[in-house]
Structures are given as structure tokens and as C-alpha cells.
Structure 1
């Protein structure tokens, strides 16, 4: 497994990792979010970020094609974390109303609840589903 760190215009490195498209990758993605939030001193975003990345990875595992997904964590602003999952499916995620008896189907509703913003960016070979969390500015 390779973690890539790249410099961004904000001066804050981003974190990204290519993972197998399997449910176990959610745990690795959560660790990546925790590492990024700790490095950026945005610990207040860690738990929501971990829940969000779990849901985004879970969606990609269920609906994408190919054997890998990419998790990307960026810091577009001083107190903002953007969590993205890139996969090889061009089909955008559709939020569903889950019944009380449904095992799944609440993932995007949870993302919508926790994130300040979320969306999907189409890519030539797939898509990036992302969510942003905003914390407090640290002085």
C-alpha cells in the first residue's frame, strides 16, 4: 500500500491511497482520515470524517467496477477537510429513503447529515464522490 502526499495551493499536503474495492478498505480509509485530521490539528472533524469515508467507501464497494478505489483527503481551507472516494463507475450515487427494516441504504443520508457540503464530480473514466467538513479556525 502506498500513501501519496502532494502539495496543494493551500500549502497543506493532501493524503491519498489506492485501496482494494472490498469492505475491509473502509478501516484503512478511516485511519487515513484520522491521520490527516491529526496532522492538520482538526481533531474535531475526525469522527464525522471517519463515518463519512466509511459510507463513501461502502458505496464504491457496492456499486463501482474494477478492483480498486482511491481515497483522497484534502484541506482546501484552514479549517476545512474534503474527503473524496474515486471509483471507475460513472453512475452518480442516488440517496434513497430506507425503511426501518432495511439493512443499508442510509449511507448518503448520513453523509448529507454530517457534511457541510457533498457532491459528485464526473471524471472521464469514473467519478469522485466528496464531502466537506468545516471545523473551527485555529489561531
Structure 2
């Protein structure tokens, strides 16, 4: 089982960010939840921890289910004092996320619906330049209450 090799040490000023690479497998979700909670505690954003942990869990599940990538990068970022962004980067730019309705009897397929319900907004950004992106980041943002 993979674990955090070093304690989370995220900057608490400016536009801080934290990222780390992990195996692209369902068991990474537990590590991702812990990482998100630890970073948000450092940033004094504990009130967002449950929603952010749900989001990172779903993003990891989607990456491990829908991409053949051996690794993913988890990102927790403060693009501004009022926004928190959590994301997963994989190396499969051709498999883009699509919000769809799952049938009542489907056992999966609701991850993006959950993210859409709890996040202020979500989306994806292709990584790399030009016509040949090397990957994508699927992300979701939450609004903070901070006045930093």
C-alpha cells in the first residue's frame, strides 16, 4: 500500500499549492482524502474538508477506472483567496470527462454528478502545448470563506 512518504508541508501564504504523484489505482483514494484533509488543515479550511475529500475520491476513481495510466498526480491549490481547487492529472488526454445521467439501476456512473452537486464549478484542462497534449487535469473548485 502506498502512503505519504513525507508529511504534508504546504505554504500558507500567496497562492499555495501541493501536489504529489501516486499509483493510478482505487486504493489511492484513501491517501488522497488524507492529503486533502492535511493540506486544508494547514490552510485553516477544515470546513471544506468533507466536500474536497469527496471530490478527490471521485476524481481518483474516474482516473483509475477510465485511464490506463500507471500514475496520477493529485493537486490541491489555492488559485485565489476565495477559491480552492483539487485536481487529478493523468496522461490520457483523449479520454475526457463527460457529465451523464446514470440509470436508476446502474451501480456506477454518478461520480461527476456528485462533483457537480458539491463543487462551485468543475472542468478539465489539457496539459502540454500545441496539438499534442500529453495529458489532462480534471479539477473542481470550492469557494472559501477566508478573507486573506
Name the TM-score, length of structure 1 as normaliser.
Answer: 0.90
- The 2-side partners of 1:5 and 1:135 are apart by 20
Asked whether the equivalents of residues 74 and 88 of structure 2 are also in contact (C-alpha less than 8 Å), the reply is yes
Question: What are the superposed Cα offsets for residues 29-56 of structure 1, whole Å, 9 maximum, x if unpaired?
Answer: 1111101110110111000000000000
- The 2-side partners of 1:87 and 1:132 are apart by 18
1:111 corresponds to: 115
| Structure 2 unmatched ranges of 5 or more | 128-132
- 1:68 maps onto 2:62 in alignment: no
> By how many angstroms is 1:64 displaced?
1.4
Give the structure with the higher percent strand: 1
Asked whether the equivalents of residues 10 and 42 of structure 2 are also in contact (C-alpha less than 8 Å), the reply is no
- 1:89 maps onto 2:92 in alignment: yes
Match of 1:136 among 138, 142, 145: 145
2:23 corresponds to: 20
- The 2-side partners of 1:35 and 1:13 are apart by 14
2:52 corresponds to: 49
> By how many angstroms is 1:79 displaced?
3.5
- The 2-side partners of 1:114 and 1:30 are apart by 16
Question: What are the superposed Cα offsets for residues 20-79 of structure 1, whole Å, 9 maximum, x if unpaired?
Answer: 011000011111110111011011100000000000000000111221011010011224
Residue 50 to residue 28, structure 1, CA distance change in 2 (3 Å) = same
